[in-house]
Homo-oligomer: A and B are copies of this chain.
């Protein structure tokens, strides 16, 4: 058993679906908040649950460095480590290593890079990146790819795309041989209730264990047995492929087709949002999507603004992630139904109205713009906490509205991209 995907409604090219993972259902199109180091910066997991986050993203590169994959694996995997019972996706580390620039060297075998923390030397190959992601134990893991730099000429782009295809095959091969090593398969943590009563015995894990050795699993759930489950039940993570091909529609088509031939339960569009104009991003997304299997989830990596996530959902993208809502929050940039605002501005110092009168989040229900402005101006930690909660709420509300519109078959009712442009 792995992740499954069902499309429930169409509206033009857009689709609304349900991705079922061992850690719960993810309704698509979905925006995935980024929890780089096993934490959405400043926001506790119960608030994420309240916001309706169904899946979040962890960065393999960062988790590999701190606390280390083996540490997370011994603690039962990312879900248990961060006390997050819902779905998780990890990236392959490829993009993060790509963004290290000076510090990396790419060969056929893999990438040698230096840690941004202490300069120490490390090596990621398709095999080691899969090993790391299996140890982290996310529901969805990503093939190891090379994110082609921009700009790149056609020859360089082709070479890079071919490398990514070879790495995709190696990723898949390693994954198939080692997927039983996911930490869910044995009970490293010991007993579930050591994590406390608020952490449920996760439905997926219970089902998994129950299918193999019901009674022991039951006892283990009750905290009475500490022995590891002796056998592997067949439950596994899902490994998604990544399409590259730079800014060349023909190479994108080829990459999409050849990646599909390798065969994955889901496909990502990588190598975009790397400095190219937005109109080109859109063109390449469209050129790629049409060559991907219609019945598999499509994940556009690293996108985007509220306008963009709406626009790409309308093109048929099912999953997106971006640091924008959380990073912008830390800089006092807040998305509202009346446009993006910078809460640091002096004009908010005496403004007793809510941040967004059309938002029902716990921040807008309680606090004034004046208070949020004060917290930000004083560099109070609560500023980051509240700003992040609001921005995530705005993104998740936007995606909920998109899903609703698709279910109604009414693309005209998609939330307007206009809403997030600041008024003059």
Contact = CB atoms under 8 A, between A and B. Distances in A.
A385 B381 contact: yes
A385 B350 contact: no
A150 interface: no
Copies in the complex: 2
A309 to B, nearest CB: 25
A58 B170 CA distance: 60
Interface string A56-82: 000000000011000100111000111
B41 A350 contact: no
Contacts of A189: 352
A71 B349 contact: yes
A156 interface: no
A115 to B, nearest CB: 13
Size bracket of the A interface: 35 or more
A377 interface: yes
Given A189-B352, A190-B352, A366-B198, A382 B83 contact: no
Interface string A176-207: 00000000000001100011111100000000
A377 B67 CA distance: 9
A320 B411 CA distance: 59
A384 interface: yes
A116 interface: no
Nearest to A351: B75
B38 A75 contact: no
A37 interface: yes
Interface in A23-61: 37-46
Interface in A323-349: 349
